[in-house]
Amino acid sequence: MPAHVRSVLTGNSLVVPVSAGRLALGTWQGLYLWEHRRAGSRRRVLVTVIG
């Protein structure tokens, strides 16, 4: 149950602009993965490129 509440509060998807094959992020912006469990495990990241 706590992990479900955390996922609702932090979100589980993200839209990131890409320009010329690179992430179009600002100077102080970055992407981070926050693990809600005490011990990490294998994860798969799905990337969908539309354009």
Mean pLDDT per 10-residue segment, the chain (51 residues): 73 83 90 74 81 72
Going through 1-51 in order, the beta strands assigned E by DSSP cover 18-19, 22-23
Cα end-to-end span (Å), the chain: 37
State the pLDDT at residue 36.
Answer: 67
Structural domain boundaries, residue 33: 1-51
Structural domains counted in the chain = 1
Classify 4 in phi/psi space as left (phi over 0), alpha (psi -120 to 50) or beta.
Answer: alpha
pTM above threshold 0.95 = no
